[in-house]
Structure 1
Amino acid sequence: MFRILITDDLGRAGLNLLEAAADVKHDLLKLPTPEKLMQTIGDYDAVITRSGTPLTAPIFEAAKKLKVAGRAGVGLDNIDIEAATRRGVLVMNTPEANSLAAVELTIGLMLALCRHIPRADASVKKGEWTRSKFMGVQLSGKSLGVIGLGRIGSKVATRCQAFGMKVMAYDPYITEETAERLHVRLVGALEEFLREADFITIHTPLTEETRGMIGAKEFALMKDGVRIINCARGGIIEEKALLDALSAKKVAGVGLDVYLKEPPKGESIQQLLSREEVVATPHIGANTWEAQRDVAVQVVQQVIEALRGENLRNVVNLPFPEGVDYRSLAPYMELAEKIGSLQMQMILGRIRRLEVEFRGEDVEPNGKPLTVALLKGILSPILSEDVNYVNASHLADQRGIQVTQTRHPAAQDYSNVILCRAVSTRETRLIGGALFLHKIPRIVLLDDYRIDALPSGPALILSNRDIPGVIGKVGTLLGDRGINIAEWQMGRNERGGMAVSFINIDTPASESVLQELRALSPILEVRQVKL
C-alpha cells in the first residue's frame, strides 16, 4: 500500500483517482508548517504539493521513505531539486496540463495592451464616452519576439501567426528544425532579437541564466514603443529597469501576470502597477477550471504510475529527453541496468572509468538516461543505500567513476546495441547487450566472445579451454549437486582456443560447488552472478 501526502488544495477529479486506486492511501495536511511537515512526512511514499508548501533540504532529510514529490503545476521554485536528487526522490511537475491556459492569458494580455481594454472598460463604467482616448494598434503585420520556444512559447507562436504576426524566437536550446516546423525564425543573438521585435513575450523558466536577463541594457536595445508580456516567472525582467523604460516611453505597454515577489511589494513595483500602460493580473496563468482539473488528474496519475514503476512522465531530475515515453524506453533501461550489474559482478578491482557506446537509432538519442540506468546497475550490488535513476550519477561521482559516452546512429550486427567497457585498477572488461523482439534483453558480447545469453536470475560464467568434454563434465557435476540448468550459451575465440560459457541456473550454486567447478581440469575461471 502506497501512502501519499497532499499538502495543498487538489481538485476533486484528482482526489477521485486517489480514492479509486486500491493500492493507495492518501492523507490531506493542508499548508503545514515546516516543523509539522518534518514530523509527518517520514511515513509517506509520495507527496503532492502546489506552490504553498516549500519542500526544502531538511524536509527531504526527514522523508526517509519518500520516493516521489509531485508538483501540481509547472513552477518548481518551492522544491529543492538538488536535495531531492541526493535523497533519490523523483521530482515531477505537470507542464502540459495548464500550458494552454497560460497561452490564452498571454494572448489576452497582448490584446488588452493593444486596444486598452481595461482602461476602456473602466471609462465606460464611469459613464464616460471618450473613444479618442483609446486609439490602439493592430497585431497584424507586427513582429512578435518569443523568448523561450518550449511548450507554451511554441503555442503562442502558432496562434499569433493566425493574427498575421511575423514571429521570431530566441532560444539557445531549440534547433533550427524545430523552429522551421513552427514557421518561426530562430534568432541566435539576443541583441538582434531585441532590436527587431514590436512585441516581446517571455516563456522561459527562472534560472540563474535567465534571472534579470531583461534589464536596462536590454531595454536600450529595443524598438521605441515596444510592448512586453510576461506570464512566465517574476525576476526575469528587472522591475526597476522596466519602470524606467516606461517612464522614458521606450516601452509603450506591459502585461504582467508574475512578479519578483508575490504578492508584489516595494516602491518600484507599486509605481509600476499604478501606470496606465500596465495591465496586471495576480498570477492567474493556470486559473481556468479546465486547467485545474487537468493538473489534478495529471499529477495524481503521474505519482501513482511512478510509485508502481509503470512510467516516469515529467520527472525533472532524470535526464530524459523531452517527449520521450518512458514505457517505450523501459526495455532498454532494463538492458543497460543488466549490463552494469554484470560488469560490477565480473570485474576485479575498483572501477575507475566507464566507456559507454550506443549504436542504433533507438538508443543513440537516449544516451543520458541509459547511462544512468547502467550506473544504477553498476552501483546496486555494492551499496547498502538505495540506488535509483535519480541519484545514480551523484553516487558515481562521489566514488570517482568517470563516464564517457559515444553515440552512433547505426549498428553493425544488431539494430540497437549498448556496449560498456569498464576500466578498473586491475583489468578492463567489455560487455555488450541488445534487445530481441524489442523487449527481451540479451548479452551479445562478453569481452572477446560473441554469445547470446539471457541476463536473468542466478548464472555461472565459465572460462575454459575449447576442448571436448567440458559441457559433459560441468553438466554432470551440476546435476549431481541438484542444480538444474535453464539455459547454456557458449562462445569461443577460435577452434581449439578459448571459450566462455554463460549458464543460467534455477538455484544458486554453493561455494563448495563453485570450488568443484574450478577444480575441473579444462576450467580456468568460474564466476557466479545474480541478475
Structure 2
Amino acid sequence: MKVLITDNINKCVKDIISETAEAIFLPTMSEEEIIKIIGEYDALMVRSQTKVNRNIIEAGKKLKIIGRAGVGVDNIDVNSATEKGIIVVNSPDGNTIAASEHTITLMLAISRNIVPASQSTKEGKWNRDAFTGTELFGKTLGVMGFGRIGRKVVNIALSIGMKVIVYDPFANEEMVNKKGALYETSLDYFLKTLDYLSIHIPKTSDTINIINKENINKMKKGAIIINCSRGGLVNENDLKEALENGQISAAAIDVYENEPKIETCPLINYNGNNIILTPHLGASTKEAQINVALDVASQIKKVLSGGYTDSAVNIPSLNPEKLEPVKDYMNISENAGEIIGQISKGKIKSFEITAYGELIKLDIEPLEVAILKGALSSIFHDVNYVNTPFLAKQRGIEIKIIKSEAPSSFTSLLKVKMTTDIETNSVSVSLIAKNIARIVKLNDYDVIIKPNEHILIVPHINQVAMVAKVANTLCEENINIGSMNVSQNIKGSDMSIMVIDIDTALSEEMLNKISKIEGVHNPKCIKLNV
C-alpha cells in the first residue's frame, strides 16, 4: 500500500506510516499532477495548501482515507469523499495551544505597538513616545465562542488579569463561570461592554459577516478586534471603515475571506499602524505541526490496517461490536434527533432516551450518539459521530438512558425526550420490520409516517375541513403531498396533529400562509437526512 503526502508535512510521520504502507513525499504538486498519479495510492495526507476536490477524489480509485494534518477540512470535498466511501480525518486537538497562543500574541503586539515600533527602530529611529501602548491587565476581553481554543484563550487572559466575558448561545453558563469568566446571552450587551473582542466560532451561514458594520457600531468606541478563527466572520470592508473613522482603535487579523489571495483583501490597502495582518499562522508552530501530523498519520495507519479511526469527519467512529447489533436503527435514531432538534426552541439542557422491547437487550450507545448528532446538526454545521459526544459534554447536556420493560405496541421502540430552557418535546421511532423505519409518535400524538427528506408538521384544532384547508393551501403552490397522517385528539384536548410528507422545503412565506389558517398552531417544516 502507498500513502501520498503533499504540502510541507513533517517527515516524522514516515516512521508511523511505514509500518503498514510506503510513504511518498511530493510536497509541491498541482491538481493535474495529483490526478495523474493518485490512482496508485491508498491514502492521501495534506495540509491546507492542497485542494482535494471532486476531480482528485474521483481519480483516486484506491483511496481509503484522506487525512488533513490540521483542524479545518475546507480544502477537502468531504461530500465527494463520502459518496466514494473514503474516510476523511483531521486532528481537532493538535493546534489548540498554538492557536490560543497566537491570539494572545496578537493581542499583546497590537496593544504595545510592537510592529511599528520594531520597524521604526530598525530604521535607526529612537521614538519611544510615539509607541506608548496599553496594558491588558484590568481590561475586558470578550471571547466569542467557548470551544477548545476559546476556553484556552479564556484561561490565559484570566491569568494575566483580564476580565473575561463569554458569548456562546450554545455554551453552558455554569461551565463558563467555573472557568472564572462571565457568561452573556445578549450579543448586543456583550459587544458594548468590551475593550477587546476575540473570535473563536465556526464559519456557518449564521456566522458569516457576524462582525459587520451594524455590530461594530454597537461596540465600545476604541475597542480592538482579534480574529484567529475563520475568514469571513469579520466583514473586511466594514472593519477597514471602522479603523478609518476610529470606531475600532486597532485590529489583528490572521484569517481572510479569500485565502490565500490576500491581494483581494481591502485591509492591505489600509495604511495605519493600528493593524496587524498575519498569513493564517494560528497553527504554525513546530510543535503543532508535529502533533497534528503524528495524529493523522496514526489514524491513516489504523484505517489501512483494517481498524477504526478516532477523528473521522464523515463516518461513525464506533466500535464494530457495538454498531453491528443496532445498525438498522442508526438512521431512524438520527432522524429522531433531527426532528426533535428542529421542532424545539431554546438551549438544549437534557435528553432522556428510553428503549422498549427488543432494544432493551442491546447496547444502545451508538443510537445515543446518532440521536445527539441529529439534534445538534441544527446548531453546528460540522457535527459528526466523532465530535457529537464531545460537543454535548462541552455544553453540559445531560443524557439519561432508560431501558423499560413496560409493554409496547411495537417489537422495538425508541422514545427520545429533549428538554430545553423553554420547553420539552418527545418523538418515538420504531422498526416495524427489517429496514422499514417509521416515526410513530410526536409528543403525545400517535402518528405513523415514513421518514422522508421534507416533512411538514401541523398542530391544529380538530375541526371540520381542517385537512382539506391545509392540503388545498399546499396544492395551490404546486407542492406535492406524498403521504399524510392525522393523529387522534389527546384525551381532554381538542388539539390534533398532521404529519405530511412533501416533496420540497417550504419557504417562510408558505409557512406563514399555513399558520394563518384558522385553528393551525405553529406549523414546522423539517428536513431529514435520509
- Scaled to the shorter chain, the TM-score interval is 0.5 to 0.7
Hey, what does 1:447 align to over in structure 2? none
Q: 8 Å contact 2:253–2:276 — kept in the other structure?
A: yes
Partner-residue secondary structure (3-state), 2:188: helix
CA distance 1:410–1:180, change in 2 (3 Å): farther
Query: What TM-score comes out, normalization by structure 2 length?
Result: 0.63
Q: 8 Å contact 1:336–1:370 — kept in the other structure?
A: no
Hey, what does 1:185 align to over in structure 2? 182
Hey, what does 1:113 align to over in structure 2? 110
Shift in Å, 1:249:
0.6
Partner-residue secondary structure (3-state), 2:249: strand
Q: 8 Å contact 2:236–2:265 — kept in the other structure?
A: no
Cα RMSD, aligned residues only: 3.4
Deviation sequence 1:7-28 (CA, Å, 0-9, x none): 2222021122222x1x222323
Hey, what does 1:157 align to over in structure 2? 154
Q: 8 Å contact 2:225–2:252 — kept in the other structure?
A: yes
Deviation sequence 1:143-181 (CA, Å, 0-9, x none): 111122111111001110001112122223323343234
Q: 8 Å contact 1:332–1:370 — kept in the other structure?
A: no
Hey, what does 2:64 align to over in structure 1? 67
In structure 2, C-alpha distance between the alignment counterparts of 1:116 and 1:164, rounded to whole Å: 20
Hey, what does 2:29 align to over in structure 1? 32
Of 97-106 and 258-267, deviating more is 258-267
Q: 8 Å contact 2:354–2:402 — kept in the other structure?
A: no
In structure 2, C-alpha distance between the alignment counterparts of 1:162 and 1:250, rounded to whole Å: 28
Shift in Å, 1:40:
2.4
Letter in 2 for 1:156: V
Answering whether residue 166 of structure 2 is matched by residue 174 of structure 1, we say no
Hey, what does 2:8 align to over in structure 1? 9
Shift in Å, 1:313:
1.9
Hey, what does 2:263 align to over in structure 1? 265
Q: 8 Å contact 1:199–1:228 — kept in the other structure?
A: yes
Query: Quick one: which of 323, 334, 343 aligns to 1:333?
Result: 323
Answering whether residue 430 of structure 2 is matched by residue 421 of structure 1, we say yes
Partner-residue secondary structure (3-state), 1:221: coil
In structure 2, C-alpha distance between the alignment counterparts of 1:358 and 1:5, rounded to whole Å: 45
Letter in 2 for 1:336: V
In structure 2, C-alpha distance between the alignment counterparts of 1:221 and 1:119, rounded to whole Å: 29
In structure 1, C-alpha distance between the alignment counterparts of 2:23 and 2:191, rounded to whole Å: 49
Aligned-residue identity in percent: 35
CA distance 1:11–1:161, change in 2 (3 Å): same
In structure 1, C-alpha distance between the alignment counterparts of 2:83 and 2:15, rounded to whole Å: 32
In structure 1, C-alpha distance between the alignment counterparts of 2:330 and 2:367, rounded to whole Å: 16
Q: 8 Å contact 1:49–1:70 — kept in the other structure?
A: yes
Of 89-98 and 126-135, deviating more is 126-135
Partner-residue secondary structure (3-state), 1:241: helix
Answering whether residue 407 of structure 2 is matched by residue 409 of structure 1, we say no
Letter in 2 for 1:270: I
In structure 2, C-alpha distance between the alignment counterparts of 1:426 and 1:257, rounded to whole Å: 49
Query: What TM-score comes out, normalization by structure 1 length?
Result: 0.63
Query: Quick one: which of 125, 133, 141 aligns to 1:144?
Result: 141
CA distance 1:179–1:305, change in 2 (3 Å): farther
Of 300-309 and 158-167, deviating more is 300-309
Partner-residue secondary structure (3-state), 2:116: helix
CA distance 1:153–1:363, change in 2 (3 Å): farther
Hey, what does 2:274 align to over in structure 1? 277
In structure 2, C-alpha distance between the alignment counterparts of 1:427 and 1:117, rounded to whole Å: 65
Shift in Å, 1:254:
0.6
Shift in Å, 1:216:
0.8
Taking the TM superposition and a 5 Å limit, the aligned residue runs for 1:444-459 are none
CA distance 1:331–1:198, change in 2 (3 Å): farther
Query: Quick one: which of 194, 199, 203 aligns to 1:202?
Result: 199
Hey, what does 1:307 align to over in structure 2? 304
Deviation sequence 1:180-219 (CA, Å, 0-9, x none): 3423333223222211111111112333232211111111
Q: 8 Å contact 1:358–1:408 — kept in the other structure?
A: no
Which protein shows a greater Rg? 1
In structure 1, C-alpha distance between the alignment counterparts of 2:187 and 2:355, rounded to whole Å: 35
Query: Quick one: which of 287, 292, 300 aligns to 1:290?
Result: 287
Q: Which blocks of at least 5 consecutive residues in structure 2 are unaligned?
A: 332-352, 374-383, 386-398, 407-411, 415-428, 439-530
Partner-residue secondary structure (3-state), 2:7: coil
Partner-residue secondary structure (3-state), 1:410: strand
In structure 1, C-alpha distance between the alignment counterparts of 2:326 and 2:47, rounded to whole Å: 35
Deviation sequence 1:301-337 (CA, Å, 0-9, x none): 1221233343422222246xxxxxx57x554323323
Query: Quick one: which of 243, 248, 254 aligns to 2:251?
Result: 254
Hey, what does 1:44 align to over in structure 2? 41
Letter in 1 for 2:431: A
Letter in 1 for 2:177: E
Letter in 1 for 2:72: G
Shift in Å, 1:3:
2.8
Partner-residue secondary structure (3-state), 1:168: strand
CA distance 1:412–1:288, change in 2 (3 Å): same
Partner-residue secondary structure (3-state), 1:70: strand
Q: 8 Å contact 1:167–1:185 — kept in the other structure?
A: yes
Partner-residue secondary structure (3-state), 1:265: helix
In structure 2, C-alpha distance between the alignment counterparts of 1:281 and 1:426, rounded to whole Å: 53
Hey, what does 2:50 align to over in structure 1? 53
Shift in Å, 1:300:
0.2
Deviation sequence 1:450-508 (CA, Å, 0-9, x none): xxxxxxxxxxxxxxxxxxxxxxxxxxxxxxxxxxxxxxxxxxxxxxxxxxxxxxxxxxx
Shift in Å, 1:408:
4.8
Q: 8 Å contact 1:73–1:295 — kept in the other structure?
A: yes
In structure 2, C-alpha distance between the alignment counterparts of 1:101 and 1:362, rounded to whole Å: 39
In structure 1, C-alpha distance between the alignment counterparts of 2:296 and 2:16, rounded to whole Å: 10
Deviation sequence 1:255-298 (CA, Å, 0-9, x none): 111222324113722223x3200022222222221112112111
Letter in 2 for 1:134: F
Partner-residue secondary structure (3-state), 1:141: coil
Partner-residue secondary structure (3-state), 1:179: helix
CA distance 1:428–1:303, change in 2 (3 Å): closer
Q: Which blocks of at least 5 consecutive residues in structure 1 are unaligned?
A: 320-325, 342-355, 373-388, 391-406, 430-531
In structure 1, C-alpha distance between the alignment counterparts of 2:120 and 2:325, rounded to whole Å: 67
Shift in Å, 1:340:
7.8
